[in-house]
Every structure is written in structure tokens, then in C-alpha cells.
């Protein structure tokens, strides 16, 4: 459907119509002659490296008498005669370019002078003769010089040109034209939007098709709201806010989302907009040749998009990778130059006056001046998603691309650097490669993903051949603790924070519970061992502790401190000052941490007394009760679809006699049996568990190391 003001061109357009330069040649010649005569530039023709008169005599079509040279013809009287001839025969020019200029003027409410100025600048870029003539004006023109020259060339009042090139004019506010701050030639100082010439050279069916040449509507999202459950609070906040500002058409609505590359920022925005039913458009980042746009061109595209979409209802704009367009401190003393301060004012104005709500996306914001950050209505740091959410993404991508979703998916999802973008790209490539079987898919996924992960400096995948052969079933109903674990998990889900001390013998399931908790709360797990924290130089441990807590907080992760007894030893028995300061640092960090912290130890009695009191809950992990050990045994057989045969009664009788089994014992024996020819059998498993129990009982009877001497 067309609008009253928009004139569709496709009905009258034919490819045989003359080119834009040919249709406008008379007007271009008038402009060139005014430069020569009224601005007195004809004397400079042929001097230095400038074109000689021959170029212009031929282009202007000045009649030559017999024996006349180019220099004889190129004199004021002959040039004036040609100018009068052309001005007396000027007719309205009809064609695609002219009509599109009028349509653009209608869309932006441009004055006739603004339309003529835009037309002049676009034709300059198409016509070498006009461009060469403008260079005669000089290379150090100020804004005042530009206005004086344009008033003469276009034969328009100086006041009208002054208004047309004012920073607050529609030409500049819309990004159709931009002007450099430094003195330069006219062609370099005044530049039209980089795509404008191409867009105005072809016909368009209606206003919407015309607008589509300048702003790109976003593609449909690949994900659904359920894929962002890890960010449910942030998602719901933005959704509620966006609904409100779109409905009220609130001016100056801006949302900043930042996070690691490929983490899903763009897909989050796409999904949100589809969820609330608004149209999303994107500010371009590449030109028609797929070359990256520089900051100034992207800002012009942003301004143009704002003006074109201003009257369109239920519309949102996305400015992706915005960090390269925001100015920063530009000298080593942190003081900003006058030009930088000018930019700051301009940016602040844009963030306060944009009509269409904008999502701004960045990989990092450390370098962006805080003065800009404060002007965003909502600022979201998008963290790595949990292993559970990542697993769902991999499974969904595999299903979409016709892959099998093998057992390797669970292990792959544990790598927090496996971003939605990388998952999508790897599975798309896998769909184009002919592979058969889960194992081949596992190897292909691993190789493709590791190529990208390694190049980005991230830990690579090391997927087991068969994830099921080594992974044991886990159930909180089977572990033996002094706390009702199901109720604890519900409380942590509701509260979102807590400090838990998990203690007990090795293998009783402390670390496994941390993994289970992360999956239950749908959060990533940041695990740190004592060796990751302890430093060999004074102050290094404290710094590593601070970095570990910051990393866990930034990623919204559950924090697991393993072997915490090495970090929280009693300060009473400390023999060095640094032992005290490291405990103090950890206690301070624990107090300030507002997430879920699990500290695990096999030696609770070694912890500092004050430190132990800082934990909300102290969970003791005991040896498995015989009934639970038997339940664990049965769950393994059920998972691997193994049969007891005639031995079930005798196996059960033996299992119910064990008092010192741990989940870790089951894992050790299963791994050992997986290396044998017979594999996992009922008798092999119970015999192996009996060996583990007997070894532990003997060890505890005779004591270990220095403990025996006391």
C-alpha cells in the first residue's frame, strides 16, 4: 500500500532510461559554470596538477570557431554566454533519482533548499567534472566558506543555506549528511550518508520498500524465551519495561546489554521483541560490499533509522557492537580533549532524545565513559548460562540440524565457553558433513568446537567416548547427610544465596552435590581448588581469592571452594602473618558474596573457629547407610540395563552388611571394571566394593601418618 505523499516509480520506470548523470547534466554544467564565473575559479584551471581547459570545454559543449584553442574558448565571456543559455532552458527533470529525492524530502519533511543540497552532494560523487571544479575552491574551507560557496552555486539565499547546514537541521539530525569539524575541501567536509546514492538510483514500490533500503529488519530469532531461563529476572524486567515504553512512546529509552562475544546478547533481544510483538530493526554494521562500517557511518545509519522509524508504531532498534562508536578518554592523563567533550555532549543528547527505543549491545564496556553508562535506563551484564541451559541448546541445535543428540552432549555442556553462537555454527557445519553414529558425531563436534575455543584462548572439550560408562546416577535421596537436601535446594532456589560448609570423608558426595545443585538451580558452577588460589608470593593468595569471588559473581555462578581447610586454617596456630591475612581476606569475601557458596573439606576440625561460624549451614556427608548403598547399587544396574541373574539375593545380603561405603567407592570400582573383559557385573561390583570397605577399615584401625603417634 502506498501513501499519499509517496510516488511509486516502478510503473513508469524502464531500464532504458538515461543514467542519472545524463539526465542532470544541464544542471551540473550550470553549477560548474557558477564555480568558474561567480566564484572566480576559472583562472585556476590548468595550474599545478589541476585539469586543464580541455576537460571542461568538451564537457560543457562550448562551440569552437575555426582555429580556436581550448585556452581561447575558456574565457569569462564565452563561459557566461554558455551559462545564460543553460539557465534560460532549464526544465524540470523527471526520473528515478529526482522522484526519490522528493520522496526522501517528504519522508523527512525537508525544505526545497535541503533537497537541492542533498541532490548536489550526491551528484558530486557521481560526476568527476563537478568534483574537480569544487576542488578549485580550496582545501581549507570552514563552515562559513561552505555556506558562501553553496549560496552562489545553488543560487539560493545565504540564510536558507545557513539553516540547511545547521547541526539541528533535519539533514544532520537524520544522518543524511554529516560535516567534519576540521577545515577541508567542500567534498570532504560535507558528505551524504554512504548508501544514499545507491538507494536513490533505483525505483521502489512504496514507502515501506523505500525505508527498507536504509534500515534492516531483524531476522526471526532462533531461540525461545525458555532458552533464557538462566536470565529470567533480567528477561522479565526488560520485557515489562519495553512493553511500557513502546506503548507510551517514551522518549530517550535505552537498554545496554553487555557480555562475552557469542554469549547470546543479540538472540536475547530478538527473542524479547518477538515475545512482546514489536518489530526489531538493526543499525547496519557492514556496507553493501560487506566491509565493516566505521563509527561515523554507523552513527549516520543510527540517526537515519531513528527518523525513518519515528512514526512507526511498535518498533525497536538494535545497535550491536556499539563500543567502537562511543568516545573514550583520549590521552594518558585521562583528560578529554575539546573535540571529545563535544562528542560527549552529542552522545548524551542522543541518549536523551531518541524517539525509537534502542537496545545497545557490547562485548565489554570497560573503556566507555561512565557518563554514558549512567544514561542507560537498564544495564544488564549477560553471564555464561548454566550447564543445564547449555545442554538444552545443544540438544535443540542437534535436533534442528538432524543430528542424534548423543551421550556426549552432557559432557560438552559443562564447558561454559561453549556459547549459543558457537553451538549454532558447529551444529550447522556438522549437518553438512556425512557422519554415522554417536561416536563420529562426538569427534566431529569436539574438533569443530575446539578449533574455535582454542583460537579464543578458552579451555577445549575432552569428551569421553561413552559418557554413560563413567557417569554414575545421582540422587539426593541416596546420599547420607544431617540435612534434608530436597528442602535445602528449594530454599536456595527461593532465596538465591547461602553459605554452606560441606564436610565429611573423601568420596561421600560433596563435590557431586555441588554439581547437582548447579543443575537444580540452573546456574553455572565455578569450582576452585586450593591449588588455584594459593600463591607463592605474599599477597598473591588474597588477590586470587578476590578474583575468584568476582568471577563467580560476574557469571552469576554457584561458587565451590574445594579443600577449603587449606585456606581457612585456624589463626591461633598460624606462624606467619600472611596465614592470618589470607583467612581474613576469605572471611571478608564470604561476607560480601551475595550468591551461593559451597566450601568443601575432609577435615572440619582444622578450620578456623570464627570461619566455621560464618556458614549458614554445616552439612555433614556420612558413609552410605546399608539400605542407601543397596539403592545406589540398583540404580547403577538400572542405568546400564544390567541383569542380576540368580545372584540378586546373595548380592543384596552382602551389600546390606557394608557400613563404610561412599559414592566415590562405586565410581572407583565402576571405572576399574570398565577396563576388564567382563565389564560391570553384579559379582564384580560387590567384590570390588568389599575390597574398598576392607581397605578403609584396616586403614582407620592402624591410623595414618602422624595421627597414629598421638
Express each pLDDT in 489-509 by its tens digit. 999 999 989 999 999 999 999
Task: Write the CATH number for 499.
Answer: 3.40.50.300
- Residue 544 has φ and ψ, to the nearest 5°, of -65, -35
Q: Is residue 708 part of a domain?
A: no
- Which domain-ending residue is among 381, 410, 427? 381
On whether both 158 and 270 belong to a single domain, the answer is no
pLDDT of residue 49: 57
Q: Is residue 14 part of a domain?
A: no
Q: What domain range includes position 521?
A: 476-621
How is residue 581 written as a grid cell?
591475612
Distance separating alpha carbons of residues 281 and 297, to the nearest angstrom: 17
Q: How many domains does the chain have?
A: 5
Q: Which has the minimum average pLDDT: 314-318, 412-416, 423-427, 559-563?
A: 412-416
Express each pLDDT in 526-550 by its tens digit. 888 888 888 777 778 888 888 888 8
Q: Is residue 613 part of a domain?
A: yes
Sequence-distant (6+) residues with CB within 8 A of 411 are: 461, 463, 464, 467
On whether both 83 and 121 belong to a single domain, the answer is yes
Return the closest-CA partner of residue 476 out of 487, 467, 465: 487
Three-state secondary structure call for residue 484: coil
Q: Is residue 338 part of a domain?
A: no
Q: Which has the minimum average pLDDT: 202-206, 356-360, 390-394, 678-682?
A: 202-206
The position carrying cell 560523487 is 125
On whether both 312 and 418 belong to a single domain, the answer is no
On whether both 513 and 480 belong to a single domain, the answer is yes
Q: Give the model's confidence band at 106: pLDDT under 50 very low, under 70 low, under 90 confident, else very high.
A: confident
Q: Which has the minimum average pLDDT: 191-195, 208-212, 450-454?
A: 208-212
In angstroms, the Cα distances linking 617 to 287, 415, 561, 583, 704 are 58, 29, 15, 19, 30
pLDDT at residue 613 greater than cutoff 60: yes
pLDDT at residue 376 greater than cutoff 90: yes
Neighbours of 6 (CB within 10 A): 21
How is residue 270 written as a grid cell?
530478538
- Which domain-ending residue is among 209, 230, 262? 209
On whether both 552 and 444 belong to a single domain, the answer is no
On whether both 249 and 351 belong to a single domain, the answer is yes
Global pTM reads 0.61
On whether both 480 and 439 belong to a single domain, the answer is no
Question: Which has more pLDDT, 590 or 92?
Answer: 590
On whether both 670 and 604 belong to a single domain, the answer is no
- Which domain-ending residue is among 566, 588, 621? 621
pLDDT of residue 9: 46
Q: Give the model's confidence band at 16: pLDDT under 50 very low, under 70 low, under 90 confident, else very high.
A: low
Is residue 60 within 8 A of residue 82, CB to CB? The reply is yes
**Host H or E run for residue 439:** helix 438-455
Sequence-distant (6+) residues with CB within 8 A of 517 are: 489, 492, 558, 596, 598
On whether both 284 and 358 belong to a single domain, the answer is yes
Is residue 484 within 8 A of residue 452, CB to CB? The reply is no
On whether both 416 and 368 belong to a single domain, the answer is no
Distance separating alpha carbons of residues 163 and 30, to the nearest angstrom: 23
How is residue 373 written as a grid cell?
553508562
Express each pLDDT in 377-415 by its tens digit. 999 998 877 777 788 888 888 888 888 877 788 888 878
Q: Is residue 635 part of a domain?
A: yes
What is the per-residue burial (b if ≥16 Cβ within 10 Å, else e) of 7-26? bbbeeeeeeeeeebeebbbb
Q: Is residue 275 part of a domain?
A: yes
Plot region of 7 (φ>0 → left; ψ -120 to 50 → alpha; else → beta): beta
Q: Is residue 333 part of a domain?
A: no
Average pLDDT value for residue range 165-191? 85
How does DSSP assign 7-29, residue by residue? ---TTT--TTSPPHHHHTHHHHH
On whether both 374 and 394 belong to a single domain, the answer is no
Q: Is residue 374 part of a domain?
A: yes
Is residue 378 within 8 A of residue 241, CB to CB? The reply is yes
On whether both 429 and 486 belong to a single domain, the answer is no
pLDDT of residue 678: 82
pLDDT at residue 112 greater than cutoff 90: yes
- Residue 289 has φ and ψ, to the nearest 5°, of -95, 10
Cα angle 641-643-649, degrees, rounded to a multiple of 5: 135
Give me the helices (H) in 374-509, please: 387-400, 408-412, 420-431, 438-455, 467-470, 485-495
Q: Which of 20-24, 113-117, 651-655, 659-663 has the highest mean pLDDT?
A: 113-117
pLDDT of residue 47: 66
Distance separating alpha carbons of residues 268 and 257, to the nearest angstrom: 9
Burial of 185 (0-12, 13-18, 19+ CB in 10 A): middle
Amino acid at each position: 500500500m502506498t501513501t499519499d505523499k509517496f510516488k511509486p516509480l516502478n510503473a513508469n520506470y524502464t531500464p532504458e532510461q538515461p543514467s542519472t548523470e545524463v539526465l542532470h547534466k544541464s544542471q551540473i554544467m550550470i553549477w560548474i559554470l557558477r564555480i568558474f564565473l561567480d566564484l572566480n575559479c576559472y583562472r585556476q584551471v590548468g595550474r599545478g596538477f589541476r585539469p586543464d581547459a580541455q576537460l571542461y570545454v568538451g564537457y560543457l559543449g562550448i562551440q569552437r570557431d575555426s582555429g580556436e584553442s581550448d585556452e581561447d574558448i575558456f574565457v569569462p565571456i564565452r563561459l557566461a554566454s554558455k551559462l545564460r543559455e543553460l539557465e534560460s532552458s532549464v526544465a524540470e527533470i523527471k526520473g528515478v533519482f529526482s522522484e526519490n529525492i522528493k520522496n526522501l524530502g517528504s519522508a523527512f519533511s525537508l525544505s526545497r533548499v535541503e533537497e537541492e543540497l542533498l541532490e548536489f552532494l550526491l551528484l558530486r560523487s557521481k560526476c568527476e567534472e563537478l568534483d574537480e571544479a569544487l576542488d578549485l575552491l580550496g582545501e581549507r574551507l570552514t563552515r562559513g566558506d561552505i555556506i558562501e560557496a553553496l549560496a552562489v552555486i545553488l543560487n539560493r539565499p545565504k540564510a536558507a543555506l545557513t539553516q540547511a547546514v545547521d547541526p539541528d537541521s533535519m539533514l544532520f539530525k537524520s544522518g543524511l549528511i554529516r560535516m567534519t569539524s576540521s577545515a577541508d575541501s567542500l567534498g570532504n567536509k560535507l558528505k551524504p550518508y554512504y548508501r544514499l546514492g545507491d538507494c536513490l538510483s533505483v525505483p521502489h514500490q512504496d514507502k515501506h520498500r523505500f525505508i527498507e533500503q536504509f534500515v534492516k529488519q531483524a531476522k526471526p530469532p532462533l531461540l525461545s524465551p525458555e532458552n533464557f531461563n538462566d536470565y529470567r529476572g533480567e528477561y522479565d524486567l526488560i520485557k515489562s519495561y519495553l512493553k511500557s515504553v513502546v506503548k507510551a512512546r517514551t522518549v530517550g529509552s535505552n537498554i545496554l546489554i553487555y557480555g562475552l562475544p557469542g554469549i547470546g546478547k543479540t538472540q536475547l533481544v530478538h527473542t524479547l521483541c518477538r515475545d512482546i510483538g514489536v518489530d526489531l530493526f538493526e543499525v547496519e554494521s557492514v556496507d553493501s560490499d560487506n566491509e565493516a562500517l566505521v563509527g561515523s557511518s554507523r552513527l549516520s545509519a543510527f540517526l537515519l533509522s531513528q527518523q525513518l522509524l519515528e512514526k512507526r508504531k511498535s518498533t525497536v532498534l538494535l545497535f550491536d557492537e556499539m563500543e567502537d562508536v562511543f568516545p573514550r578518554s583520549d590521552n594518558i592523563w585521562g583528560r578529554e580533549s575539546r573535540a571529545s567533550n563535544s562528542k560527549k555532549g552529542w552522545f548524551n543528547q542522543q541518549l536523551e532524545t531518541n524517539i525509537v527505543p534502542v537496545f545497545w549491545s557490547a562485548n565489554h564496556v570497560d573503556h566507555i565513559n561512565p557518563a554514558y553508562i549512567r544514561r542507560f535506563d537498564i544495564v544488564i551484564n549477560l553471564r555464561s548460562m548454566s550447564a543445564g541451559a547449555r545442554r538444552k541448546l545443544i540438544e535443540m541445535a542437534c535436533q534442528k540440524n538432524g543430528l542424534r543428540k548423543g551421550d556426549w552432549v552432557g559432557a560438552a555442556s559443562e564447558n561454559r565457553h561453549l556459547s549459543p553462537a558457537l553451538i549454532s555454527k558447529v551444529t550447522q557445519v556438522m549437518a553438512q558433513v556425512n557422519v554415522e553414529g554417536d561416536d563420529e558425531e562426538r569427534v566431529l563436534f569436539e574438533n569443530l568446537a575446539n578449533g574455535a575455543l582454542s583460537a579464543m584462548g578458552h579451555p577445549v572439550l575432552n569428551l569421553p567416548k561413552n559418557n554413560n560408562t563413567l557417569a554414575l546416577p545421582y540422587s539426593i535421596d541416596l546420599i547420607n547427610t544431617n540435612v534434608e537436601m530436597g528442602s535445602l535446594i528449594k530454599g536456595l532456589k527461593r532465596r538465591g544465596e547461602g553459605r554452606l560448609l560441606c564436610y565429611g570423608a573423601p568420596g561421600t558426595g560433596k563435590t557431586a552435590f555441588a554439581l547437582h545443585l548447579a543443575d537444580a538451580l540452573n546456574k553455572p558452577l565455578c569450582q576452585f581448588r586450593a591449588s588455584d588460589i594459593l600463591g607463592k608470593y605474599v599477597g598473591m593468595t588474597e588477590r586470587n581469592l578476590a578474583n575468584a569471588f568476582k568471577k563467580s559473581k560476574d557469571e552469576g555462578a554457584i561458587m565451590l571452594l574445594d579443600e577449603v581447610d587449606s585456606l581457612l586454617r585456624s589463626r591461633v596456630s598460624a606462624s606467619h602473618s600472611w596465614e592470618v591475612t589470607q583467612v581474613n581476606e576469605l572471611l571478608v569475601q564470604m561476607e560480601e558474596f551475595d550468591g551461593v557458596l559451597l566450601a568443601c573439606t575432609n577435615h572440619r576440625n582444622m578450620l578456623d573457629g570464627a570461619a566455621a561460624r560464618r556458614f549458614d549451614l554445616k552439612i555433614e556427608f556420612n558413609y552410605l547407610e546399608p539400605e542407601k548403598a543397596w539403592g545406589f547399587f540398583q540404580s547403577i544396574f538400572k542405568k546400564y540395563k544390567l541383569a542380576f541373574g540368580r545372584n540378586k539375593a546373595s548380592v543384596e545380603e552382602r551389600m546390606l552388611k557394608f557400613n563404610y561405603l561412599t559414592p566415590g567407592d562405586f565410581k572407583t570400582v565402576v571405572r576399574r571394571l570398565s577396563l576388564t573383559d567382563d565389564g560391570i557385573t553384579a559379582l564384580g561390583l560387590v567384590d570390588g566394593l568389599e575390597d574398598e570397605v576392607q581397605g578403609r577399615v584396616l586403614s582407620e584401625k592402624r591410623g595414618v601418618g602422624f595421627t597414629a603417634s598421638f
